[in-house]
Structure formats: structure tokens, C-alpha cells
A and B are shown apart, each in its own frame.
Chain A
């Protein structure tokens, strides 16, 4: 008797590894197929200059699924934090920085009304984000409202809102589709607070603060608890812990095994074809690649019903976030920033209009002449990231649309210059200390990690691609229309941001389907 064919996980990103670990723990034979030399995907650490290491794409953790961390004993498998509960600091070229720590805001120019408003705002955001967190704990229901049995899980979603009480329920129904700019204007007069909070709502998005639905994006980000942390050794050590957890549970991880396509027999996926030409029989496939690549690239539209394929094709997934890495000979000095705050989460978003203006060019396929940034210096709290006395600066820079009209090869050096100029306005002496600069545009991210559009969340995190609409109706419960093929990437519910939840829920769905008669 031959052993039952394995379940293949395509792509060793964090969600793929989480899914593999859960399936292996349930006794399934699981093999992760990873195209790169090492598993990790967007949660990786690489050396970009001799002796300088940086988290390659995602650089902060803010919503890691605590159930995943606990179930998979990630601490035991080596996950440690260099720093937890980072404060957010809003930089300014002409004023002292503002510091946001939990629900308190402090800094030059803030009056009692602003501080009080900030407290009320954070409390309200927390209450509403808790509703989303509750929705994120389970797969989204389908909206086939033909009977009570179908309506029950939908009613459960509604109950999470109802439970807020009348006043908050009304408020959530009102703000859910609103632009974050409108929402912030109801709370604050301080332009700088609005700028920083507006940035939180648009990081990784093809949207500006005035775009409808950005309140939702802000709540989504807060649903993970709202605290930022950095793993010791960068995001790669999270992946390393996941690899150890998956392996310990019995999963096999095969690197440099690029999947080129799926074998489909009688509407069921029966095997995977590797780029090397090898074909492997399987009992199921869970893809951690983005939905478009999985369904249109590896599977092929010919196996899909036309309407479904059309929905997948129209998924909104244009990446706008670039990543900048600098090797610095010494610690930078930012204007108005206290030295002890250098290791916090530093934001360049002086006001909401600045953020909106940064978004404007993206609509026409151009990059921002004055970009917004989320900056972190991992080497401040983690000596393993840079040689002694030297520093690493890691920044998410927006907006740098994947579909740049001029083409990234032609524009790359100009955009890098734009980024450095923006940084130098805040840290005048920075340029002289740069030993090496690396810029990853969404096009680079698309190529390196293999994400369509270079979009971190594997598809825009917006209301039209949320819950039972993520990635598209018909695949929102992780199973695809092709039997045996499942999705588990950030492109599925509840979305992106290094959560691990899609991987966990996808594994549970696969096991539930197997168990069903």
C-alpha cells in the first residue's frame, strides 16, 4: 500500500506555514512548496548590505493572531521580541514630534481638548475594532438567505454590532463607509494628530484619507489590538519560528520548488506541476499565493465558471507601498525627536491633506513627489541587525503605484532620491551617514515575493473586498470552486497584515470539509 498523497501548501509565507502547521497537527501529511531558498514570503529578514539586516517587506507586527501564537507555541519555537508596544511618533520639519502612547497623545502644541479628543477617539476606535475582531475569529458566512439555517451565522455577525448598544451601533453603521478624513474632523482640530491617524488608515492601500471606506481600514488595523511590536532578528524570525512549529508538527518544507500549475481531473485538483517539470500527486492543495495568481495563473480560467473568473480578474490589487532600507554609519538625528524615541514607530504625515496630496499622483500612475512614511530603526533595540555603532533604517514609503506610467526601471533612482530628500528634510545630517540604500518598489516586491501587483494584503483591504466578498464571492470560505483547492493567503478573510488568521481558518475549513459527508 502506498501512503496517502500529501496535501501541498503552495508558498511558504506566514499564512502558508500556519496552515501547514495546523494541518500537520491534525495528522495530515503536509508538504510546503516554496519557490525561494527560504520560507518566509513577506515576513523575512535579509542582509541588504554587509553586516546590515532588515525585515524585508513587513517590518512591524500589529495583529498577529494570538490563538496561532499559542496553539503553535511560537515562543517555544524561538519567537522573541526586540521591542513591544512601540509608541507612534509624528515627525515634523518645523516642530517637536508628537508622541502617541496607547490612548495618550503628548507633544508641543497639543492642548487639553486635543488630548481629551485623542483619548475619546482611541476608546471609540477600540470599541468598534472589537466588532471586527469578533468577525475575524471565524470564516465569513455566505449570504444565501434562503432559510433560517443560512441566516443564523449572518445574524451572528449582526449580533456583534447589536451588542454595542444603541448609540454605538448607530455610530458604527454611520461611520463604516466613511472616509477617515471626515471621521477625524469630527474629533480633532489638531492637523498633526489627523495626519498621523490618517496615515494609519491608508498604509498599504490604494486610497487617500478622503477616500470612502478608510474608516474601515483604520478599524481593521486596530482590530489586532493596536499594539506594534518587532521580533528579535526581524520578521524573518517569526517565519523561522513558524517553520520550526510546522516541522515539529510533521510538515515537510521543500524550498526552491516553484509550482508552475495544477493538475485537475474531473473538477478536482489531483496534483501540482513544478517548474522543474516534476509532477506530484496530491490529496489537496492550499495556496498561500494571492488569489489571482492561484486561480488565474496556476489553475487557469478554463477551469472556472466565467462569472467567477471575471470577479477574480477584477480584484483590486494595485500595490502602492514601497520599502526603503538604509545602512547608516551612525544614528540619525530627526528634527524635534528626543533621542530616546528614535527606536519608536516614526511617521511622516504632517497633516491629512499632505497624505491626500501624496495619494493624488497614484491615481494617474505617478509616484508622490512628497511621500508619506512609516519609519522604524530595528537596530536601536536589536544589536543583531547592524554592526556595532551603526544603524539600519527601514521605511514603508507611499505612494509608489505598481502600475507606474513611466515604468519603474526608468523612475527608480528618481524616486529613491525623492525618498532621501523627504527624509533629509526631517533629518538634515542623514545623507552623509548613508552607506547603502535599497529601494523595493511594488514591482520589485511583485517579482521577489511573487505577489500580483506587489500588494501586501494580496488585494485591497476595502469594504468591497471584505468578509464574504474576500477575495471574491464563491471563494470567501477558503474553498474554491475546484474541489480540493483551497486559499489561505492574506487575500482571504480576514485579510493582510501578518496575522496568520487566514492560514488557521483555511486549515480548519479544509478539515471540516473532509469530515463532511
Chain B
């Protein structure tokens, strides 16, 4: 992977961090002919998009685990298929009920409607309305994903043009559409769903997408929007569908790295950056923990603004106001993960054998109150006693993950605090947390525990220590309206540029946020190229729609 750069070498651009966004930025810059170097702290690339063999014979997507939001424009432009990335769609999902029944989210729309009707006839009709309205919000935001947010206070031509574009997109929604959109961005997921569904079970079934990765409860205003981060993607043109990267999420990073290298870019692992160097207001390169200096006039940071501005920059060069903004940026860890090696396929009696949804997302919270109480626990600084799980068995769809006949289970857990009542996680905490999750799975899959060969327990603390995501927040910063679009990461710094000339941010802490979209990386590359007077590298407002 490493291709021995030496300290005398000079690059056009250095990217700090080989997460999917860092690799994407680097690939676009290399494609435009820049001499690019990516520096990665770990001995492996990928950040939170990795495949790791942590139990012999088992490959875990041990952080991010499913794929949908990766922008098709980027997939195509970087020819990721040629570099080995294959997205395999998986089927639907299930919400189990405590009384032994379930609500099935089938892929086939008619079957799904009939299934909802089995629980509540009114809600089956409402689902059509819900799908239509939610997809309308998806279409609206999709057009903004590969655009640089305008600065609403600026009178620069480009900002005014982008504001006008935004105004026009709004006007296109029509009067009622505008009202609906404002409400959508300010409602809680609970209130949004209540406008459609009567049944508590049906509401709970759709609630998870509003709070995944977010330190807010289903009743917190602003959570309806988070829904979009789970609906605005697609797999093979199927809007809202989700899939697996064959071979695990590391395949995404591998393909991006392949693309980068095909354009002549370089990657160095085990190369933690200590500081960004500057002369006056101009970036001049980086210095590694080893003391080695590498020079470049442009440095892109895949790290969040706290780590970048407060950790890597010379503090004397920063305005106190910027320091305050970086400190106030909300990055709250709220989720954890279990990666489990299984001796066989666990059964879920509610589904019976050979059920088509067995390979989908399995969920266990069947009421809004259970969701909200799970959040209340997090506020008190402990993991949810009755958590929200998003459970998948990727090996049912992708047999390359495990030895034949064995299985890999990925369990995303919400809510898990970055610290347990203010102190660091202990091994006893981790064991108790694992047991909480196992207990919930056992309620629907008796005997599940006996199948467990190995379980990796990941709390926000592991995510922070291994991947460098502050507080273990999977989106590199809360996805609340005060931190979205021209407010992401904070006002005045939403156009990917840092406080020094030549310094850029390219991680998920920038617009449009997290979820393995690679859009922040592409947008940051566009800004770098624009500053070089080469606007053709990453088109503005690039959209397949």
C-alpha cells in the first residue's frame, strides 16, 4: 500500500486520513492531474469503511455495515466497479412485536402494503402518502448533495447564484410543498409519523431511521430530517434501497484507493500527522509524528473540525472566535456496534424457517415509548436498557464473509454514550452492554447465545480510539439543522475551506454529512480545483436526477 515518499518530496496536495471521503477527495484531485499523497494513521485504510478479520475466517464490516448513499455520480466517475466495488441489494426488514408477531417491510410494494394492512388498514393507505411525501423531500435534498452550500450573508456572485438556485428549487416545490418542507425540517420523527400512521407499531417500524447515529429521541424536533439520511440513497437506481458492499465495507475504501492509485495518487499508512505547517496565512505542508516533514501547498483534512483546527493547527494562528465555534460544534457519540461470529444461522420463531425477510434488517422496538425511553437512558449517561437494534446477517447475502455454513451478524445499537456516567468504559461495562444486547436478541431468537463464537463489542470509545471519530459519532457531527448545509460544520466555514490558505475540510463534518456518501470528499475536491482555476474537475451541482 505504501509507496515510500521521502521527506524531500513535494506534493500538490496532502490528504490527512484515508477514510472514504479523504480517498474520494484524493482520487478526484489525482484525476485532475495533481500529485497527491494520502496519510493514514492506522496500518490499514478506510477509516470507518473497513472489512477486518478479527476472528479467524470471519470478515467483519466492523464499523459502517451497509451501503446506499454512495453517490452514483462518484461511483461512475471514479469507475469504482472496475476497481472491484459491487453493491448487492438485500431484502427489506422486520419489526418484531413483543407478542410474537412482526411487521414485515417487504421489498415488493404490494406485499408491503398488504402487510401493513394486516396490522392497520388505514395505515396501509397512509403509507402511500408517506412514501410520496418523503420521496419528495429526498428529491429536493438530492439535488443539493453535490453542491457547495452558499454563504447566505455573502454578496459574492457565486453565493448569490447558488442562493437564487436554492430559492428556485424552493419555489418549484409549490406553496404547499414549501410549507411541508419547512415543517419536515423542524418536526420530530414522532410527530411526522403521527401525521400519517395510527398504529404505534407502524410508527415504531419507521422511527429507527430518524434517530440512527443521532443523540436525539424520536420526540426531539429535527429528527424527521435524519430520516433522509436513510432514504435518499439508492442501489442500482432503486431509490431508498440498501445493499452490502461485497466483501464488506472495506471494499468501498479499496475501490476508492484503487481509483486513486490508477490516477497516480499515493497512500502511506502508519503515518500519523502531528501538525499542519504554515507560513503566515499559507499552508506549507504537514509534519508526521515521526518528525518527518512533507511539503504541499494544499492540505485537506478528513478529520472533524475539532481535531483539525484545535488539534493540528498552530493555535496562535487561530481567531478566538473560530476556537469557540470548533469547541461548540456538536459531535455526540450515541451508537455502538456488536460484530458477532456465529456457528450457525440463528432462528427467529416469529418468522419461521426460510422467511424472505430473515436476511433483512431486524428490529425489536415495537412502540414509540420504547424508543424514547432508550434515549432517556442515554441522556442519563448510560446505554439503553432496552436499546434500538438494527440487526443484519450479511453472510446470508454475501457468503464471502464467513466459512461455509457459518454466519456473521452485525448489530448496530442505539443509544450508547461516549462515557458511562462521565467515566471511561471499563471491560465490565462492555460485558454488561453486550449482555443487554444479547438479552434483547434472545427474546426473539431463543438459543441465539449458544451460537456465538466471538463477539466484538464496539462502544463510541472504540470508534473514537480506532477510527478517530470524536466521541464516536458516526456522522462526524450531529445532523441537526443548526449543523446542516451552510451551517455545517459552522457558519463561515461551510465551503470546505479552513482558516488558512490551502487548508480544506473534506470529511463528513462538512455538507452533506455522514453516511458513506463520499459527497463531502467530492465537494471539497471541487473547491480545491476551483481555487486552482480548474472548475471542470468536479462539476457543480452534479446530479443524476
Contact = CB atoms under 8 A, between A and B. Distances in A.
Interface of A: 142-146, 166, 169-171, 173-179, 182, 185-186, 207, 210-213, 307, 310, 314, 316, 356, 360, 363-364, 462-464, 468-469, 473
B186 interface: yes
B217 to A, nearest CB: 8
Contacts of B320: none
Nearest to A147: B171
Contacts of A211: 219-221
B491 interface: yes
A469 B170 contact: no
A212 B178 contact: no
> What 4 pairs across the A-B complex have the smallest Cβ distances?
A170-B491, A212-B221, A212-B222, A177-B481
B376 to A, nearest CB: 6
B379 A210 contact: yes
B3 interface: no
Given A212-B480, A363-B372, A463-B221, A166 B153 contact: yes
Given A177-B481, A316-B191, A464-B221, A170 B176 contact: no
Contact of A464 (B167, B182, B373): B182
Interface string B169-208: 0110001101100110111100100110000000000000
Contacts of B222: 177, 212-213
Given A177-B481, A212-B222, A469-B182, 19 more contacts: A142-B175, A145-B171, A145-B178, A170-B153, A171-B491, A173-B487, A176-B482, A177-B482, A178-B482, A182-B482, A186-B324, A186-B328, A207-B221, A212-B220, A212-B480, A363-B217, A463-B182, A464-B191, A469-B183
Contacts of A310: 195
Contacts of B195: 310, 314
Nearest to A313: B195
Contact of B490 (A142, A174, A179): A174
11 contacts: A144-B175, A169-B152, A177-B482, A178-B480, A212-B188, A212-B216, A212-B220, A307-B176, A360-B376, A363-B372, A463-B221
**Among A175, A213, A468, which residue has the most Cβ atoms of chain B within 10 A?**
A213
Contacts of B185: 177
Nearest to B192: A464
A142 B487 CA distance: 26
A213 B379 CA distance: 18
B480 A143 contact: no
Contact of B480 (A144, A177, A363): A177
B167 A174 contact: no
Nearest to B167: A145
Contacts of A364: 369, 372-373
Interface in B326-371: 328, 330, 369
B478 to A, nearest CB: 9
Nearest to B180: A473
A126 B153 CA distance: 21
Nearest to B190: A363
A219 to B, nearest CB: 14
A464 B183 CA distance: 5
Contacts of B480: 177-178, 212
A182 B216 CA distance: 12
B491 to A, nearest CB: 4
Given A145-B171, A145-B178, A468-B179, A173 B152 contact: yes
Q: Of residues A177, A210, A462, which shows the largest number of chain B Cβ atoms within 10 Å of its Cβ?
A: A177
Nearest to B185: A177
Nearest to A472: B179
A96 to B, nearest CB: 27
B498 interface: no
Contacts, number: 94
A210 B221 CA distance: 10
B415 interface: no
Nearest to B484: A177
Contact of B175 (A143, A173, A176): A143
Interface in B475-502: 480-482, 486-487, 490-492
A312 to B, nearest CB: 12
A356 B379 contact: yes
Contacts of B376: 360
A469 B372 CA distance: 27
Nearest to A467: B182
A468 B176 CA distance: 11
Contacts of B191: 316, 464
A70 B185 CA distance: 39
A82 to B, nearest CB: 37
Contacts of B220: 179, 210-212
A143 B221 contact: no
A182 B379 contact: no
Contacts of A174: 482, 487, 490-491
Nearest to A364: B369
Nearest to B368: A363
B479 to A, nearest CB: 11
Contact of B186 (A169, A186, A462): A462
A469 B176 CA distance: 10
Contacts of B187: 464
B156 to A, nearest CB: 12
A364 B372 CA distance: 9
Contacts of A468: 179
Interface string B214-244: 0011011110000000000000000000000
A146 B171 contact: yes
A128 B195 CA distance: 32
Contacts of A169: 152-153
A33 B188 CA distance: 38
B324 to A, nearest CB: 8
A4 to B, nearest CB: 34
Nearest to A308: B176
A142 B372 CA distance: 35
Max chain B Cβ within 10 angstroms of own Cβ: one of A143, A169, A314, A468: A143
A207 B217 CA distance: 12
Contact of B221 (A173, A356, A462): A462
A473 B179 contact: yes
Contacts of B491: 170-171, 173-174
A454 to B, nearest CB: 19
B482 A175 contact: yes
Contacts of B221: 177, 207, 211-213, 462-464
Nearest to B179: A473
Contacts of B369: 363-364
A173 B487 CA distance: 8
B179 A469 contact: yes
A273 B20 CA distance: 67
Interface in B497-534: none
A314 B194 contact: yes
A356 B153 CA distance: 34
A186 B153 CA distance: 22
B171 to A, nearest CB: 4
A124 to B, nearest CB: 13
A360 B182 CA distance: 26
A171 B153 CA distance: 11
Nearest to B172: A145
B213 to A, nearest CB: 16
Contacts of A356: 379
Contact of A473 (B176, B194, B217, B328): B176
A179 B222 CA distance: 10
Contacts of A171: 491
A166 B155 CA distance: 11
Contacts of A210: 220, 379
Contacts of A175: 482
A394 to B, nearest CB: 30
Nearest to B175: A144
Contacts of A186: 324, 328
A304 B263 CA distance: 62
Nearest to B327: A186
A469 B191 CA distance: 15
Contacts of A464: 182-183, 186-187, 191, 221
